[in-house]
Amino acid sequence: IIGVRDIHADHAASHIGKAQGIVTCLRAIPYHSTRQKVFLPMDICMLHGASQEDFIRGKQEQNVRNVIYDIASQAHIHLEHVR
């Protein structure tokens, strides 16, 4: 946008974009749940024993929190790469 041509800036922007995308997905869980949709990685949900129904019903049990924590941790890893 501002004419910066640097491979390191591009790499940092890529990680920032990934982190932002993950956070946006997490923030949208309540919105999508009211529409009976879940856009989370099912392998991570299965790892913690959480189902799509758990998210649709708005459960806040430990397994649901663990899924959200694992996904949020991925966003944190991307931000650490930027730093």
pLDDT for 1 equals 61
pLDDT for 5 equals 82
Average pLDDT over residues 21-38: 96
pLDDT for 6 equals 83
Give the pair of three-digit tokens for residue 35. 């529409």
Q: Is the pLDDT of residue 48 over 80?
A: yes
Global pTM reads 0.84
pLDDT for 77 equals 96
End-to-end CA distance of the chain: 21
Average pLDDT over residues 11-24: 94
